[in-house]
Amino acid sequence: MFSVSYRRLLRAPLSREIHSFIRTRSAGLPDGFKFFPEFLSLSEQRTLLSVALSKLDSTETKQARKQRRDFLTNHPQEHRAVEDIFLPDAYYNFQEGHYDGVIRHYREMHLSSWPEDQNPGLSFILARLQGLYPTLEIQTHLLHLSSVGEILGHVDNIEASGTWILGVSLGAARVLRMESTSNPDDSFEVLLPSGSVYLQMDSVRYDYNHSVLKASHFLGCEIKAGQRVSIMIRDRKEVPTSNS
Alpha-carbon span 211 to 200, nearest angstrom = 13
pLDDT confidence bin for 241, thresholds 50/70/90: low
Question: What is the pLDDT averaged over residues 56-68?
Answer: 93
| Nearby residues of 142 by Cβ (< 8 Å), 6 or more positions away | 52, 55, 56, 108, 109, 110, 111, 229, 230, 231, 232
Which residue ranges form the domains of the chain, and what is each CATH number?
A: 4-235 (2.60.120.590)
Q: Is the pLDDT of residue 56 over 90?
A: yes
State whether residue 63 is helix, strand or coil. helix
Asked if 223 contacts 173 with a C-beta cutoff of 8 angstroms, the reply is yes
More confident residue, 25 or 193: 193
Per DSSP, the residues of 140-183 read EEEEEEEEEEEEEEE---TTTS-SEEEEEEEES-EEEEEEESS-
Nearest to 178 by CA among 33, 22, 36: 33
User: Can you list the alpha helix ranges (DSSP code H) found in the chain?
Assistant: 4-11, 16-25, 42-57, 62-74, 122-130, 202-206
pLDDT, one tens digit per residue, over 117-161 is 999 999 999 999 999 999 999 999 999 999 999 999 998 777 767
Alpha-carbon span 197 to 114, nearest angstrom = 18
The pLDDT of residue 87: 96
pTM as predicted: 0.85
Nearest to 236 by CA among 123, 112, 106: 112
The pLDDT of residue 173: 95
Q: Based on the number of CB atoms within 10 Å of its own CB, is 119 exposed (0-12), middle (13-18) or buried (19 or more)?
A: middle
